[in-house]
Structure 1
Amino acid sequence: MKLNRFIIFFLLLPLFVQAQTSGNPIFPGWYADPEAQIFGKTYWIYPTYSAKYKEQVFMDAFSSKDLITWKKHERIIDTASIKWANKAMWAPSITQKDGKYYLFFGANDIQSDKEVGGIGVAVADKPEGPYKDHLGKPLVDKFYNKAQPIDQFVFKDKDGQYYLIYGGWSHCNIAKLNKDFTGFIPYPDGTTFKEITPEGYTEGSFMFIKDGKYYFMWSEGGWTGPNYFVAYAIGDSPLGPFKRIGRILTQDHTIARGAGHHSVVHNEKKDLWYIVYHRRPIGETDGNHRVTCIDLMTFDKDGLINPVKITKEGVKKSKL
């Protein structure tokens, strides 16, 4: 009898160990461009549904109390609620303000100022939606400073000012959002969109503050191929200037390729930093076959980001 109990325990042990880490990917399905957020005592991830542009017409969200078990919230937004969007909804960025949740997204993959599309805003009363069009039109629908209006990130500065940081085609802009997110506040010099493109920038902007410094991060390389990376710079303000420091998320050809388009989330109570990103499993050649993963992100004594080790195990259980 004791032997049988030992055998059962031994067989179940791997399941117990696995339950203590997130594993990578952290949830099933083809999902990319994940933005991680913390609302209350819950982690949230808002990714792109990774499919052909004509099928990429909705978004799901995922929530977790511990980074281990994730709940799927289906179709928090789709093109039925965004009349001007007809395809390629991607790279969501979300922020909470005055009891509302604002979801910024790219749509239609416009290639010129003559097309309808760009960056939109949707609003909801709960993190899981449903989200409705906030403006009835795109917030940004033109190419300013040669930046394609995609890959938006909403950044809240320590003085309470919100910024929209965005851009593809190797150009990145930053603009000051007005109080109700219906438009922008011009800078003192009269301009609205300032270019802050660092060396090597392709797309996928992200920014956070640590120890009074502004960490600006982005993706380099091509998203459909194996050579996709995350690099960063540090500045003294959200407007920079930003001088490229180097790459911190690269490939491990024994685990996955195409690791990039990320976000960062900070468990302040435990002072743990996590990078949430997508990557392509070994053997996958379809550009849209990307999965969402999470790994620990650390800093050296000078505040520089250490190279991230991408893993199959993911991260340990971490409650807020």
Structure 2
Amino acid sequence: MTLAAVVLLAGCASIATDTPAAGATTFRHAPLVRDLFIADPSAHVFDGRIYVYGSHDVDEPARDDEPGSGFVMRDYRVLSMDRIGGPVTVHAPGLRLEDVPWASMQLWAPDATEHDGRYYLYFPAKDAEGIFRIGVATGDRPEGPFTAQPEPIAGSYSIDPAVFADADGARYLYFGGIHGGQLQRWVSGRYDASMGITDLQQPEAPALMPRVARLSDDLLSFAETPREVMLLDDDGALLRGGDLDRRFFEAAWVHRHDGRYYFTYSTGDTHTIAYATGDSPYGPFTYRGVVLAPVQGWTTHHSIVDVDGRWYLFYHDTELSDRTHLRSAKVAELVHEADGRIRTIDPFVR
């Protein structure tokens, strides 16, 4: 362990800790790096190398009184490796808060894509009015540096942008998160700060759904008005707000396998990564089960990527810090069963 990691961990000793999952004995997967905290890992393969884009967790006082105020990330650090299990390179900051003209705080979970040799980093941040928007920055290298556009994407809101590139070249941006992610404040189509912290006050009503919009050809704007991604049960009914085991909370991610589209997401309060399947990148998607059982730590966030014909889940937990807002990225092999199901991953050896 590096000296930096020792200092970070020593600073955590007097703080209340997260509780490991019931019955857990040993962490199954090792952190990708130990000398800084990288969460919300979005992994991609560019030019034969694996790049991981994530939130750079830091330990400093919260700067607003909104839910999630302890997550005060100020820059993006990109990890890369030439193979799963190989040495990990930590690159210099690819984008800093002070270099985003419209942003005031909280560079939360990002994602990236590549087109014609250019790299596009999508990220949420609060504007001067404390409203989460989604921005885009571009660069000539996968790790950056990236230059932010002067304004957020028109029509964007909430958090957790995730880019999916379909086989025909079309790219779709998925986004949204309730609670601190503010999605519940956009029900009317306009921002309404009076709309509480979640939609759980109406447990029998349809749950808030994530959003999707196809990106324009230049990947800098929406080509259409964002629409809801409908998540259904086996009977074709919309999942309900009180269905905590299956409803969407945040962390949308889409991948395609054997002709199926898999929409994966965090359930929030019940701490799983769930999945639903459909026949179109727009959905609807039918709930199928759990990809990742609860990790240590309150939040859970992931990505799924094909590396040389084998699939991997990148996720985070709080093994190194025991603190909710200081998280470490990890990776696990992911298996699609012959019938299309995803084999549930347990982050612990029990």
Q: With structure 2 as the length reference, what TM-score do the two structures score? A: 0.71
2:193 equivalent in structure 1? none
Larger radius of gyration: 1
- Which of 79, 94, 98 matches 1:76? 94
- 1:174 and 2:201 aligned: no
- 1:290 and 2:327 aligned: yes
Q: Counterparts of 1:119-198 in structure 2 under 5 Å? A: 119-133=134-148, 135-140=149-154, 143=157, 149-169=158-178, 170-186=208-224, 192-198=225-231
Q: Secondary structure at the match of 1:281?
A: coil
1:212 equivalent in structure 2? 259
Alpha-carbon distance in structure 2 between the residues aligned to 1:34 and 1:130: 18
Contact 1:264-1:273 at 8 Å conserved across structures: yes
- Which of 276, 280, 294 matches 1:251? 294
2:302 equivalent in structure 1? 262
Once the 2 structures are TM-superposed, how far is the Cα of residue 182 of structure 1 from its aligned partner? 2.8
Aligned residue type for 2:33: F
Provide, for residues 82-132 of structure 1, a one-character-per-residue CA deviation record: whole Å limited to 9, x for no partner: 11112110211100011100000011289xxx6454100000000111100
Provide, for residues 265-315 of structure 1, a one-character-per-residue CA deviation record: whole Å limited to 9, x for no partner: 1123xx21110011122882x320211111111021201100113258xxx
- When residues 306 and 183 of structure 1 are mapped into structure 2, their CA distance, relative to the original with a 3 A threshold, is same
Count of matched residue pairs = 267
Alpha-carbon distance in structure 2 between the residues aligned to 1:261 and 1:209: 19
- Which of 30, 33, 39 matches 1:27? 33
- The list of structure 1 runs, each at least 4 consecutive aligned residues, that deviate by more than 6 angstroms after superposition, is none
Q: Secondary structure at the match of 2:91?
A: strand
Alpha-carbon distance in structure 1 between the residues aligned to 2:145 and 2:321: 36
Aligned residue type for 1:276: F
1:7 equivalent in structure 2? none
Provide, for residues 9-31 of structure 1, a one-character-per-residue CA deviation record: whole Å limited to 9, x for no partner: xxxxxxxxxxxxx9511112222
Contact 1:232-1:247 at 8 Å conserved across structures: yes
Alpha-carbon distance in structure 2 between the residues aligned to 1:75 and 1:62: 10
2:181 equivalent in structure 1? none
> Percent identity over the alignment?
31
Give 1 or 2: higher strand fraction.
1
Contact 1:108-1:118 at 8 Å conserved across structures: yes
2:4 equivalent in structure 1? none
Q: With structure 1 as the length reference, what TM-score do the two structures score? A: 0.78
Aligned residue type for 1:233: A
Contact 1:278-1:292 at 8 Å conserved across structures: yes
2:250 equivalent in structure 1? 203
RMSD over aligned Cα atoms:
2.2
- 1:231 and 2:274 aligned: yes
Unmatched 5+ residue regions in structure 1?
1-21, 144-148, 187-191, 313-320
1:106 equivalent in structure 2? 124
- Which of 259, 279, 295 matches 2:317? 279
- 1:59 and 2:76 aligned: yes
Provide, for residues 239-287 of structure 1, a one-character-per-residue CA deviation record: whole Å limited to 9, x for no partner: 11111111121136xxx3446210011123xx21110011122882x32
Contact 2:252-2:263 at 8 Å conserved across structures: yes
